[in-house]
Structure 1
Amino acid sequence: MTLTILSDLALPRHLALMAGLAIFSGILVRIMISIGVPDRPDARKAHTQVTPKSGGVGIVCAFLLGVLLLYRYGHVSRLAEPYFIGVIAAAVLIAAVSMLDDVVNMPYTVKLGGQFLAAAAVLVSGLWIHVVALPFIGYADLGWVGLPVTMLFLLYITNAMNFIDGLNGLAAGVTLIACLFLAGIAGVLGGFFIYTASLLLAGGVLGFLPFNFPRGRIFMGDVGSQFCGFMLALFGVAAARFEQVQMSFLLVPFLLSGVLYDVTFTLVRRTLAGENIARAHNGHLYQVAHRAGMDAKLVTIIHWLFAVLGGLTAIAFISTPSLPRLWIGLVPLVVQIVWTFYVAARARRAGIGRWST
């Protein structure tokens, strides 16, 4: 059963669907270059000229088209009806709220409220983390605690991807790599919905990326970064149900280890420094590295490599016994700590005393 989804006959069709969605996304992104919301430069942004944003419209529309086709014609890759409707409703909600934020720049509390509603749609459908498989323990029932855990997981990854979207190609490239790794892992493990949905999102991002890297003709905007973060988090919730793999809820955090580490480190650092964490800033590690003289394209590629490392770690993690698996899971953290010291050293050499401005 698990091999049929990656069979010689099925895989070409799936890749053809991804390619078709990439073309559809690219057409919409090209249209948005002409009519997109202008993103004006300021002291906290990396770009120096007015550039259209909301290129994420192409990603969103391509993904939603793919999901609707999957809902109508899919068989093996379908979720149970309530879950499927919850996914579609949540995707539409997060896309609508984030697009509105691109247009009118809503207060953060309002934006967070919209994200909360989208996450609530997922929970109401019944798609939440209620059982996890732990090494040496077996299956642990989280009970009602799984509801706030799932909500926090969805909101944190959604905002982490939004915060990391500050250099051309960074968030889009990380999303594409994460989707391809997740599709491969889910295909082998028989996670048919995650496999197909990851390819759908990858198709949307693939159509957008050439317009954003190496030169940024258009930006994702919140409609792209929040949507990608939310959908990857939702895939992570679904992956937690992989019965064949203990601690499978860590698969998406592994894939996004560079993003999650940067955001968490920056949040902790700013809190300890007494800074207003709700205020916009340019103190993320990737931003400090760029301000310290690293080429923006190089910083982006480094984060792509972090995503590749996360994917390889995830594969090694699910392929080894319980005890060695725990050590394997520490590899991305060690790499991020080395990266932190490197960025700090470059910042000192560049005379950057205060990271956040």
Structure 2
Amino acid sequence: MAIPLAQLVGYFLLAFCLSAILTPLVIVFAKKTGLVAMPRKDRWHDTPTALYGGTAIFLAFVIPFVTASHVLVGENLYLLVGAIMFFMIGLLDDFLEFTPQSKFIAQLICVVLLVGSGLKINLPGYPVISICLSVFWLLGMANALNILDNMDGLSSGITMIASLSLAAYGVIFGNPNVVIPSVLLAGACLGFFMYNFKPAKIFMGDCGSLFLGFMLGALAIVSTHFQGPVTFGSDGYYAGLSNVVLMLAVPISVLIIPIFDTALVSFSRLQAGRSISQGGKDHTSHRLVLLGLSEERAVLTLMVAAAIVSVITLYMASHSMEGLLAVLSITVVVCIFFGVFLSYLNNDVYDEGANEGKSRSGIAGVMSMILNKRQILQVCVDLFLLTVGYYTAYLLKFDGEISPYNQALIEKTLPLVLGVKVCCLWAFGLYRGQWRFASLDDTFKIIKAVLTSSAIIVGILVFRYRFYGFSRIVFFLDAVMTFLLIGGIRFLLRMFNEYFVRQAEKGHSIPILIYGAGDGGDLFLRELRKRKNHDYMPVGFLDDDKAKHGQEIHGVKVLGSGKDLEKLVKRHGVRVVFVAILSSPGTLFETISERCSKIGVKCVQIRPLVVFEDLDSDAPAVHHQKGQVKVLSLKKTGQNAH
């Protein structure tokens, strides 16, 4: 039964208005009664903030929900009872501060009761797996939102996007039982978000985060209860399988941000020898801030990422099961490598040396051992990507559908494809380097490996099967997908690093000019961006070669020549000029230094550590010029830059 759009908008606005009205009332009540969160070392906020904002979200959801028709029937009853139970657990925890074990046991009891009553993922023929998976999912999502509630506006913003996505999912597949509660939850979160976004006037507390987490988990389960069979293709070959795939793939994709954050925090704390339940500033949002984003941009970045993944997932879910699997697979791989990239900040988010000498045992020890085997992880990721690429080639050739005949061809040839390609990647040296240092040389290696492996595979198929039944276009597309996926993943860590370096520069407070847009300027800029312990922001290059004017080096523009120095210093508020002309005579630096001194700007010369010269036959080819080495400290200088 389709629900009119006007009715859905009305539900959304009702929940939004209730939340927008109730939240300031809770703020006033909390401040008058002293129910505020004080700043703590292991928490992100730095000012006293009102608590129990989850009460406003809960009431803004429940009041219109209980007035909806048939609310006390079937799945809606489970949602209402579960929402009340998890809200009460969170509220009591906010007041009494349960131990993590006590809180988990209370949640487990509630979840078991709800799953036993019928709130579970339906997997016909697998009742035990269905029950276990449902319990794990509900507990995991409730605590994932609780963990995600670590920065102003993040938990409420992500919940709002996920709820709208689940509502759209219900509309697409004709499931009204998920549409109305999802719309109400989104409206309630938006009303609260206005007061919770930085600077937050109120926190939701556990009464809000546990309630929201349970609702997202429960709505995801309800969204998988299709009103009829979902099939792809006229032959219905995947009719049975597609339901199971959609049950797992869509909720995971829509809720990818809380799942990712929970996984990142759990693995990082296990590696660091810390308790998973221990609070800290080691979440995804905190690491984005350490990389240079403001708190507002960190939250909005995660919200935009959640929205993009949700839109793509919903589109693929309504068109192609195989395409949905491909999108989910690529999303998971990107998340894994983004997690690896963020894990490089572990020494910044945890006390350096605090865990030195600690022996790793159990899960942490096994995980650390696996993570240290870089080549094993690289091969596993490549096998996964090569499989995705091969399937995607068939999807592209046959308009998103794989017939039983083509499925049989894939199953018959996939071992050959994977074996040949991994061997070629190994033979061309793709498993000897670190992916975060990927270079143009790696690109050429990948091209050689792709062309060689494709030629070998086609040759074997011609020899063995005379290429009967195979499509030449498929193997061309497979080669393209292999290059894009294998090459893309190797440059992913480098792209992450360069993007966040650029973002960090925007927050630096000491504008600088680099005099010299040649090799010296290039080397200095790259070294500057590798280091984190400084506050310099390059605003541009100066170079006397007019042919370079207007060009960019690593995103930094050549603004003019030396005669423009004073004008550019004044225009951009420059406080330091770095002279990075490696072969410049001493008189040039002295001239620039005098000009900088007259306008009150510091001038620093960058000199090479190793100097190459034309030497006599009995002299070494390369030697260190101790007198020409200038050690440049890139520490934060604040007002001492003058």
Same-fold status (TM-score > 0.5): yes
- CA distance, structure 2, for counterparts of residue 17 and residue 278 of structure 1: 36
- 1:69-148 aligned at under 5 Å gives the runs 69-70=67-68, 73-74=69-70, 81-131=73-123, 140-148=124-132
Contact 2:76 2:177 in 1 (8 A): no
Contact 2:282 2:349 in 1 (8 A): no
> Within the alignment, does 1:171 sit opposite 2:170 as a pair?
no
Q: Letter of the 1:301 partner, please give it.
A: L
Contact 1:309 1:332 in 2 (8 A): no
- CA distance, structure 2, for counterparts of residue 115 and residue 19 of structure 1: 31
Instruction: Tell me: CA distance 1:353–1:125, structure 2 relative to 1, closer, same or farther (3 Å).
Output: closer
Higher fraction of helix: 1
Q: For residue 420 of structure 2, what is the aligned residue in structure 1?
A: none
**More displaced stretch, 255-264 vs 288-297:** 288-297
- Between the aligned residues of both structures, percent identity stands at 24
How far did residue 328 of structure 1 move?
1.4
Q: For residue 57 of structure 1, what is the aligned residue in structure 2?
A: 55
- CA distance, structure 1, for counterparts of residue 351 and residue 311 of structure 2: 31
Of residues 337, 345, 352 in structure 1, which corresponds to 2:348? Answer: 352
Instruction: Tell me: CA distance 1:191–1:82, structure 2 relative to 1, closer, same or farther (3 Å).
Output: closer
- CA distance, structure 2, for counterparts of residue 285 and residue 214 of structure 1: 17
Instruction: Tell me: CA distance 1:263–1:298, structure 2 relative to 1, closer, same or farther (3 Å).
Output: same
**More displaced stretch, 280-289 vs 93-102:** 280-289
How far did residue 353 of structure 1 move?
6.8
**More displaced stretch, 324-333 vs 99-108:** 324-333
Q: Letter of the 2:97 partner, please give it.
A: N
Q: For residue 11 of structure 1, what is the aligned residue in structure 2?
A: 5
How far did residue 147 of structure 1 move?
1.3
Q: For residue 511 of structure 2, what is the aligned residue in structure 1?
A: none
Q: Letter of the 2:89 partner, please give it.
A: V
Please report the TM-score for the alignment, with normalisation by the length of structure 1: 0.86
Q: Letter of the 2:24 partner, please give it.
A: R
- CA distance, structure 2, for counterparts of residue 147 and residue 174 of structure 1: 27
Q: Letter of the 2:255 partner, please give it.
A: L
Per-residue CA deviations over 1:111-141 (Å, capped at 9, x if unaligned) read 112222331332132121131xxxxxxxx52
Contact 2:268 2:343 in 1 (8 A): no
- CA distance, structure 2, for counterparts of residue 307 and residue 355 of structure 1: 31
Contact 1:282 1:355 in 2 (8 A): no
How far did residue 310 of structure 1 move?
2.4
Q: Letter of the 2:191 partner, please give it.
A: G
Which structure would you say has the larger Rg?
A: 2
- CA distance, structure 2, for counterparts of residue 305 and residue 342 of structure 1: 19
RMSD of aligned alpha carbons: 2.2
Q: For residue 275 of structure 1, what is the aligned residue in structure 2?
A: 274
Q: Letter of the 1:99 partner, please give it.
A: L
The answer for unaligned runs of 5 or more in structure 2 is: 231-241, 355-642
- CA distance, structure 1, for counterparts of residue 39 and residue 295 of structure 2: 16
Per-residue CA deviations over 1:272-330 (Å, capped at 9, x if unaligned) read 33322232222222222224442111110111012112212321331333333321112
- CA distance, structure 2, for counterparts of residue 49 and residue 214 of structure 1: 12
**More displaced stretch, 334-343 vs 224-233:** 334-343
Q: For residue 255 of structure 1, what is the aligned residue in structure 2?
A: 254
Per-residue CA deviations over 1:222-252 (Å, capped at 9, x if unaligned) read 1111111100000111122224253222322
Q: Letter of the 2:295 partner, please give it.
A: A
Count of matched residue pairs: 334
How far did residue 341 of structure 1 move?
4.9
Contact 2:58 2:211 in 1 (8 A): yes
Instruction: Tell me: CA distance 1:31–1:100, structure 2 relative to 1, closer, same or farther (3 Å).
Output: same
Of residues 23, 29, 40 in structure 2, which corresponds to 1:35? Answer: 29
- CA distance, structure 2, for counterparts of residue 107 and residue 86 of structure 1: 27
- CA distance, structure 2, for counterparts of residue 321 and residue 255 of structure 1: 17
Per-residue CA deviations over 1:10-35 (Å, capped at 9, x if unaligned) read 21122112211211112211111112
Secondary structure in 2 aligned to 1:46? coil
Q: Letter of the 1:84 partner, please give it.
A: N
Secondary structure in 2 aligned to 1:228? helix
How far did residue 344 of structure 1 move?
4.7
Q: For residue 160 of structure 1, what is the aligned residue in structure 2?
A: 144
Secondary structure in 2 aligned to 1:330? helix
Contact 2:254 2:309 in 1 (8 A): yes
Per-residue CA deviations over 1:75-124 (Å, capped at 9, x if unaligned) read xxx68x34333222111111111011112221112211222233133213
Q: For residue 137 of structure 1, what is the aligned residue in structure 2?
A: none
Instruction: Tell me: CA distance 1:205–1:333, structure 2 relative to 1, closer, same or farther (3 Å).
Output: same
Contact 2:166 2:220 in 1 (8 A): no
Contact 1:251 1:314 in 2 (8 A): yes
Q: For residue 189 of structure 2, what is the aligned residue in structure 1?
A: 205
Please report the TM-score for the alignment, with normalisation by the length of structure 2: 0.49
**More displaced stretch, 118-127 vs 19-28:** 118-127
- CA distance, structure 2, for counterparts of residue 340 and residue 221 of structure 1: 26
